[in-house]
Amino acid sequence: MVEHPGMALQILNRLVGLGCTLALDDYGTGHSGLDHLQRYPIDTLKIDRAFIEPMMKSAQSLEIVRSSIDLAHSLSMNVVAEGVETGVAHEKWLELGCDFGQGWLFGRPVALQDMATQCVKI
């Protein structure tokens, strides 16, 4: 995507045309920035776990997270909080309006072949 953005856009649009949805992983770090939000057909923004600790201790970091969630929602995107490991972090993400959480609070990583035995019908 970084080296060939035009080709990436064509491929992503074809995937969307087939019914796929796309998530921008690790938002706020590395190559996952604002440019991708305006260039590609992204449906879900996954906020990197690197923001959890700082947002709990810093008003500035908290505002960065809050504004990122608001931005995603204004663009009709869902928001996933990555790396949610504590109930306190979970409550904060809910308070901020995050749509989904991912992390050890909800379940440990498992191999694909073991997933069926660990899923519970609700």
Can 82 be counted among the known catalytic residues?
yes
* Burial call 13-51: b when 16+ CB within 10 Å, e when fewer: eeeeeeeeebebeebbeeebeeebbeebebebbbbbbeb
Amino acid at 120: V
Residue 44's φ and ψ, nearest 5 degrees, are -135, 135
Q: Which of 3, 53, 63, 82 is catalytic?
A: 82
Catalytic residues: 82
